[in-house]
Amino acid sequence: MKEAGCYDESTNGVVVMVEAHNQKEHIQQVVYRILDANLDRAREGLRIIEEWCRFGLNSAQLVGECKKERQELASWHTPELRAARNTPDDPGTELTHPQEEQRTDIKSLLQANFCRVQEALRVLEEYGKLDNPNMGKAFKQMRYRIYTLESRLMGYERQQLLLRSHLYLVTSPNERLLETVEAALKGGLTLVQYRDKVADDTKLLEQAKKLRQLCSSYGAIFIINDRVDLALAVDADGVHLGQQDLPIAVARQLLGPHRLIGRSTTNLQEMQAAIADGADYIGVGPVYETPTKEGKAAAGLEYVSYAAKNCPIPWFAIGGIDTSNINDVIDAGANRVAVVRSLIQAEQPTLVTQFFISQLTNRVRPQHGKPYI
């Protein structure tokens, strides 16, 4: 018996040719199996993302983009590739990882499936070149489109949650900060800003990481006060800037287009400037004098009424608001408020949170033009 692949003069090299042909056929089938598996993987991941865009975000545009990408993937999924499938002999079907067994929240679910799609597209791009050069080019372009889609979807998700948020907790230093914030989150809080003007950077980073994780586990937006660098370090959802902080344009350049940027305002000129500069939301106040803004005169309920009639972006009344005066603020036209002491110092933060949200969402308000809802 001749050794496989040897040259046999008596058969004019037929053995070599047969072996080479068989090897080529084998490699082609392996490549087909790889392409088939990753086309399935990419389409499945996109479908999971598409379902959230449809039912979670009600975004026809994002649904359409996901569907378009899935259809392009399907156009490459030829009968030859499907025929190469060999699931019973695939050792990968039994492999798993503990992280695949659980998802902590919608964000982690979406990120996991975007990674799944992007990895599959990279495989398709490389192995596709062996079958069809145009396939490699097509999947390279699609991979970049998916990167853009991920960025836009996460930004859209933040914007939608911002619109649904009526209560905004701005923290102050507190020994039981994490416990208090979690209690408020249990009460329905969906927007948290970490603000600490006295801690050093080491403490700020440590606390911000814990708060970021806590907010993520409850599906809440997490904002950092002032510090763009800290927001990037902990992957916060955005920053809130005072009048003396970075210009919004600079913060936007550093943070990218899809993170949230808020701006404090105390009068109509500052409001108009923040809107023109591209703020995603603004603070309106201080409504009442407050030790959080020591030495700053109250803007009063008149500014709240002005915002209700004229502000085209989400805005939060802030400054000295508590359970005793929340209805006066609502009567002035507010349907979103930010609070500090009334929650941070509350004995029962969960109940206080529920009270605020109930008042802001259920109480009948007087008409003040057409506020942004």
**C-alpha pair distances (Å), 81 with each of 35, 76, 117, 129, 160:** 7, 9, 19, 14, 40
Secondary structure of 302-363 as H, E, C letters: HHHHHHHHHCCCCEEEECCCCCCCHHHHHHCCCCCEEECHHHHCCCCHHHHHHHHHHHHHHC
Could you read off the pLDDT of 224-256 as tens digits, one per residue?
999 999 999 999 999 999 999 999 999 999 999
Reduce the DSSP state of residue 98 to 3 states and report it.
Answer: helix
Of the candidates 168, 49, 70, the one whose C-alpha atom is nearest the C-alpha of residue 121 is: 70
Listing DSSP states for 250-279 in one string gives HHHHHH-TTSEEEEEESSHHHHHHHHHHT-
Cβ neighbours for 59, distance < 8 A, ≥ 6 positions apart: 53, 156
More confident: 209 or 104: 209
Checking if the pLDDT of 1 tops 60, the result is no
- Residue 37 CB-half CA count within 13 A: 17
The confidence band for 339, taking pLDDT boundaries of 50, 70 and 90, is: very high
**Mean pLDDT value of segment 82-94:** 75
Of residues 59, 165, 264, 342, which has the active-site annotation? Answer: 264
Q: Evaluate the omega torsion of the peptide bond into residue 366 and state whether it is cis, within 30 degrees of 0.
A: no
More confident: 372 or 180: 180
Domain ranges of the chain: 11-159, 165-362
Which tokens in the block code for residue 277? 């500069």
The predicted pLDDT at position 190 comes to 98
Of residues 33, 70, 195, 259, which has the active-site annotation? Answer: 195
Which tokens in the block code for residue 328? 């006066």
**Mean pLDDT value of segment 2-13:** 52
Checking if the pLDDT of 24 tops 90, the result is no
Topology annotation, domain 165-362: TIM Barrel (3.20.20)
Q: Which of 232-241, 283-292, 340-349 has the lowest mean pLDDT?
A: 283-292
The predicted pLDDT at position 20 comes to 67
The confidence band for 371, taking pLDDT boundaries of 50, 70 and 90, is: very low
Checking if the pLDDT of 154 tops 90, the result is no
Mean pLDDT rounded to a whole number for the chain: 90
Checking if the pLDDT of 367 tops 70, the result is no
Residue 107: active-site member: no
CA distance 325 to 306: 18
Cβ neighbours for 205, distance < 8 A, ≥ 6 positions apart: 230, 233, 234
Checking if the pLDDT of 292 tops 80, the result is no
**Mean pLDDT value of segment 53-69:** 94
CA distance 346 to 180: 8
CA distance 147 to 314: 28
Contact 162, 139 (CB under 8 A): no
The confidence band for 372, taking pLDDT boundaries of 50, 70 and 90, is: very low
Listing DSSP states for 167-200 in one string gives EEEE----TTHHHHHHHHHHTT--EEEE--SSS-
Residue 195: active-site member: yes
Residue 263: active-site member: no
Residues pairing with 22 in the sheet: none
The confidence band for 10, taking pLDDT boundaries of 50, 70 and 90, is: low
Q: Which of 20-29, 117-126, 133-142, 320-329 has the lowest mean pLDDT?
A: 20-29
Of residues 212, 293, 336, 342, which has the active-site annotation? Answer: 293
**Cα torsion angle, 140, 141, 142, 146, sign:** positive
**Mean pLDDT value of segment 46-75:** 95
**Mean pLDDT value of segment 320-348:** 97
The confidence band for 370, taking pLDDT boundaries of 50, 70 and 90, is: very low
